[in-house]
Structure 1
């Protein structure tokens, strides 16, 4: 499994599944002739995306950022609609590291859309139960409210079977929350009302996980936002702020969705000065 060391923190990417999404939706109003030069698509205009949770390991704690697509939760019609081409094997990834879901201490949810929250639960005996049952789950307060009371636009991604089984182990926060020294959740909004990012710092090294306001390396331009964003202007303002700040800190950007890169460093001119490529399958 791919990994990146940030001071005393070890970041490991788990296999949360793979999806094909419409490239036009992923890049919004950006013309195809522009985005397709940076992120290729197939003949159906679909682009390959990963859905890979990031495990942060310390000597004492295991922290999971988002949870993948889950497994055995969708019927064939739902799989086609959501573009699912490979289900999650997060538990197998954990096993390869000598861990079980019960070894996860904290689950950090950047937001509760299905592709980030489906792995929270599994179906057992006709009911859904928490996968990471011993972990404290952190969700921004606005996001938690939105998920439990979805509107006509969001009700197909805020699924009750994802959040209801974990509501007793969810802790909400506002604006910013330090999970432990060096790991902070920061509310940005944009992609969803309660969307959050994760800042990681240890021994002078820094990484940012901007989640779905920077879903891939090709979205670096602050104006390149997704049609999926509920509040695109908030996404633009958040990207301007946090991408600039991260570059000034010489930080790594780590990705959940990018098919080609796990992590990237950019300089102020937009040049790649550090990279961790993802394994590409033929």
Structure 2
């Protein structure tokens, strides 16, 4: 088993989007009417898992269109809240090419949830054998605000149901290969159907935490993301992550937007 940590761009956000703040501002996570001293750049991560049973890509980072017409790609509302940056060579298409991998070589693309910085680059890998997101997330993306449907329009996305698994705040998720080596763990709160990914490495579990928390500080200090669809569920998911991180068989927890995480390979 080998896991590639890939930075597929970065995003400029208000710090309150990453770390919930108590403030008189009604919507601090938007960054509206808040100064530059409250803004931060954080990475946008994807992960390539070389599993004995296939290649699995988790999330897709920014699409190369972000370099050309960001306002059109994000839409006016999202563009007013955050900005993306995608240096040359950092798109998921370019990252895979540098590894000698074509999109059709991917056995699975897992979309932990459907927020823009996780699905923007989806059309770069739309030829993958299977593209999956949870049924709960798929329904939420067509019911709630905060999603940009054009990013997956025309792409064949499959949905999966949650079943009982040994892990997670609700013990719900998906055993992807049916052998206990890679779990998609339902971790709701930031979005309704979000999943974290548990990868069974030789020395223990690697956790790809998605946006359950934005960095190690999030679960150590129990600071929720600025955007949640269910605050209580988000607390339960963050608490589970904190507890799991302290297990003897947990080798590492990676938050998608943690600036302390550098690209590399875990094997």
TM-score, scaled to structure 1: 0.74
Partner of 1:39: none
2:8 and 2:70 map into 1 onto residues whose CA distance is 18
Unmatched 5+ stretches in structure 2: 24-34, 163-171
Give the whole-Å Cα distance in 2 for the aligned partners of 1:159 and 1:68: 14
- Cα distance in 2 for partners of 1:228, 1:75 equals 26
Shift of 1:21: 0.8
In the alignment, does 2:152 pair up with 1:160?
no
Q: Distance in 1 between matches of 2:225 and 2:213?
A: 9
Could you tell me how far 1:216 is from its partner in structure 2? 1.4
Sort the Cα spacing of 1:25 and 1:203 in 2 relative to 1 into closer, same or farther, 3 A. closer
Deviation at 1:80, TM superposition (A): 5.8
- C-alpha separation between the residues in 2 aligned to 1:262 and 1:14? 8
Q: Secondary structure at the match of 2:2?
A: strand
Could you report, residue by residue, the CA deviation over 1:137-160 in whole angstroms, capped at 9, with x for unpaired residues? 22111101111233xxx2xx3222
Residue 130 of structure 2 corresponds to which residue in structure 1?
A: 136
Rounded to whole Å, the distance in 1 between the matches of 2:193 and 2:99 is 32
Alignment partners' CA distance in 2, 1:172 and 1:248: 28
Question: Is the contact made by 1:222 and 1:239 (CA closer than 8 Å) also made in structure 2?
Answer: no
Structure 1 residue 134, shift from structure 2 partner: 2.7
What is aligned with 2:257?
A: 257
Q: Please state how far the C-alpha of 1:211 moved relative to its aligned partner.
A: 1.0
1:179-233 CA-to-partner distances (Å, cap 9, x unmatched) read 1231110112110111111111133421111210122122123530122122222
- Higher mean displacement: 86-95 or 193-202: 86-95
2:99 to 97, 100, 109: 97
User: Which structure 1 segments of 5+ residues have no match?
Assistant: 1-8, 32-41, 123-130, 264-275, 278-282
RMSD: 2.5
Of 42, 45, 56, which aligns to 1:52? Answer: 45
Moved more, 215-224 or 102-111: 215-224
How far, CA to CA, are the matches of 1:71 and 1:80 in structure 2? 19
Shift of the alpha carbon at 1:81? 3.9
Q: Aligned pair 1:12/2:1, yes or no?
A: no
Q: Is the 8 Å Cα contact of residues 176 and 185 (structure 1) preserved in structure 2?
A: yes
Change (3 A) 1:45 1:62: same
Asked if residue 199 in structure 1 is aligned to residue 170 in structure 2, the reply is no
Structure-2 change in CA distance of 1:202 and 1:146 (3 Å): same
How many residue pairs match? The answer is 233
Aligned-partner Cα distance in 2 for 1:102–1:15? 21
- Secondary structure of the 2:133 match is strand
**Alignment-derived partner of residue 171 in structure 1:** 159
Shift, 1:59, TM fit: 4.3
The alpha-carbon deviation at position 113 of structure 1 amounts to 0.6
